[in-house]
Amino acid sequence: MHEWALAEAVITAASEIAEKEGLKEVTVLKIKVGELQQIELDILEFALSQLKPDKFKNTKINIKIDKAELRCRVCGHQWIFSKEELDKNSAEAIHFIPEIAHTYIKCPKCGSPDFEVLRGRGVWLESIKGVR
């Protein structure tokens, strides 16, 4: 359940930014989640709601998925990857250890597992709005 750890990190980072910016209340928190992180959004949303400090009690939290875009290092082909292309066991393995994606994902053009991730990894704060 790394969603709880991610939620805690997001709240901590957002709290630090709010403090630095002098916000008394945070009204909107936009979070971007890379598709390859395989995050269970319901769990992340629940964890965020449970971990919110008073400054975040009325915060509207928007979570956006950043689609995974990959480029083959062998043939140069770029493609948008969807986790629906994976079987359940492969998806679960990538969920826990995203770095092993190369074991399960191959270039649809040449079949090579040698690709780079251009987009779709990580979790980050896209923006924070609040009241001073």
pLDDT digits (tens, 9 = 90+) for 48-68: 999 999 999 999 999 999 998
Q: Give the pLDDT mean for 109-131.
A: 93
Phi-psi region of 38 (alpha: psi -120 to 50; beta: other; left: phi over 0): left
d(CA 49, CA 115): 36
Pick the CATH number of 2-131 from 3.40.1010.10, 3.90.1260.10, 3.40.50.11540, 3.30.2320.80: 3.30.2320.80
- Domain ranges in the chain are 2-131
**What does the pLDDT read at residue 95?**
67
Strands (E), 7-122: 25-34, 60-66, 68-72, 78-81, 115-119
3-state secondary structure of 25: strand
DSSP state for residue 111 in the 8-state scheme: -
Q: What is the mean pLDDT of the chain?
A: 90
Tokens of 22: 């002098």
Predicted confidence (pLDDT) at residue 1 exceeds the cutoff of 90 = no
